[in-house]
Amino acid sequence: MRIISIANQKGGCGKTTTAINLSACLAHLQRKVLLIDMDPQSHSSLGLDVDVRGLEKTIFDVIGYLDRPDASLNDIVLEVSKNFHIAPSNISLSIFEQHLAGIHGRESRLKVAIESAPRNYDYIIIDCPPSLGLLTFNSLLASTEVIVPIEMSLFSLHGISRLVKIIDVVQEKTGHKVLMNVIATMHDKRTRISNEVLQNIKNNFNESMFRTVIHLNVKLKEAASFGKSIVEYEKKARGFIDYMSLSKEVTAQEKMLGLKLLKDTKPLDTVKKVKQQFIFHAPEATSVKIVGNFNNWIPADASKMERKKDGTWTKNFFLAPGSYQYKFVIDGKWVEDNNNSKVVENAFGGRNSVIEIP
């Protein structure tokens, strides 16, 4: 199993975009992938449509407590799509450092969590926060490799030497080599500065740099805003071509690293929740919500559906296998799903729509 941190303390250099789309492309190449969101900002989780407010457990429950039995990684993973799972975070992760201050073993919480979970993946990708604090240190210590995204702008190399020093410390502590590679991101070949920075990075990193260059591509930003990876959103986009190219470089290293793929083993059966999209067409409506026994039938803010341009409303829920009843609330009026013939009588003399998650 390869465990790859996506790290750089500089904010906004493309860590999360790389974490999401590298994971999705590796899954597209039939690798079994887990993305761990180690950032309290939860951008990886949000960028894959996870409603972080509604989560019972997150990565903090797995690594944040030493005084009670931990949740296991398997308890929190959600299935984004085939071969692609996420261990989400939420804002609770922001107290991790304070919470474990002075406690022995605080630096290896993630490493221990990964080691004690079943080996279900070919790749674990870790999205780090923009700092060199305890969360990033935990990620690096758990990793076999690091990918450092560097965006093509002025000062983007500033501070990289500190990151490299920390990776050296990790190597000393663990006694194993952590393979580091740089990936150039947000390249705009029309601008002089972008070309100059790219050349500068090539001169600096030479062999420790992916040949792929990630270009500036608005589709990557759009995809994230719709809660999708570029694989799901737009396979014609430059962003898809670039991240597939990066993924192929990554998979080309498998032989050299002696990685044995899990490809032929039986599919993962530990996943608790699978992404389910609900759709309702109501172009005239001003508000559409979905209520069901998965959200206690409460038409609160978290049950609001999102309106697409064509008047279709959608909302995703991560649901465990089982049978669920639901209704839509259109401008305050409760109605059945007119596209689903499966219904049951309810206690109020009406009918609820029913969905089975296998």
Ligand X SMILES: Nc1ncnc2c1ncn2[C@@H]1O[C@H](COP(=O)(O)OP(=O)(O)OP(=O)(O)O)[C@@H](O)[C@H]1O
Binding positions for Mg ion, rule: CB under 5 A: 15-16, 43
Q: In this structure, are residues 37 and 129 in contact, taking their beta carbons and an 8 Å threshold? A: no
Residues 6+ apart with CB under 8 A from 327: 290, 291, 292, 334, 335, 336, 337, 352, 353
216 binds, among ligand X, Mg ion, none (CB under 5 to 8 A by kind): ligand X
Cα–Cα distance between 283 and 152 in angstroms, integer? 42
Cα–Cα distance between 96 and 108 in angstroms, integer? 13
Looking at the Cβ atoms of 33 and 46, the one nearer to Mg ion is 46
Q: Which of 7, 14, 33, 273 binds ligand X (CB under 6 A)?
A: 14
For the chain, the 3-state helix, strand and coil shares in percent, each to the nearest 5, are 35, 25, 40
* Segments in the chain forming alpha helices (H): 15-28, 43-46, 59-63, 73-76, 96-99, 109-116, 134-142, 160-174, 192-205, 218-225, 230-233, 238-252, 254-257
Looking at the Cβ atoms of 11 and 54, the one nearer to ligand X is 11
Looking at the Cβ atoms of 126 and 291, the one nearer to ligand X is 126
Stretch of 15-23, 105-113, 198-206, 328-336 contacting ligand X, by CB under 6 A: 15-23
Write the interaction track for ligand X spanning residues 321-340; mark x where CB under 6 A is met and - where it is not.
Answer: --------------------
Residues 6+ apart with CB under 8 A from 53: 90, 302
Near ligand X in 208-227, by CB under 6 A: 214, 216-218, 220-221, 224
Looking at the Cβ atoms of 35 and 224, the one nearer to ligand X is 224
Cα–Cα distance between 134 and 9 in angstroms, integer? 12
**Closest distance between Mg ion and the C-beta of residue 95, in Å?**
19
Q: For residue 353, which amino acid is it?
A: S
**Closest distance between ligand X and the C-beta of residue 11, in Å?**
4
40 binds, among Mg ion, ligand X, none (CB under 5 to 8 A by kind): none
Near ligand X in 91-130, by CB under 6 A: 130
5 binds, among ligand X, Mg ion, none (CB under 5 to 8 A by kind): none
Whole-Å CA distances, 14 to 19, 20, 70, 179, 253: 8, 10, 31, 19, 22
Looking at the Cβ atoms of 122 and 232, the one nearer to ligand X is 232
Decide if residue 12 touches ligand X (CB under 6 A): yes
Decide if residue 194 touches ligand X (CB under 6 A): no
Applying CB under 6 A, the residues found at the interface with ligand X are: 11-17, 39, 43, 130, 185-186, 214, 216-218, 220-221, 224
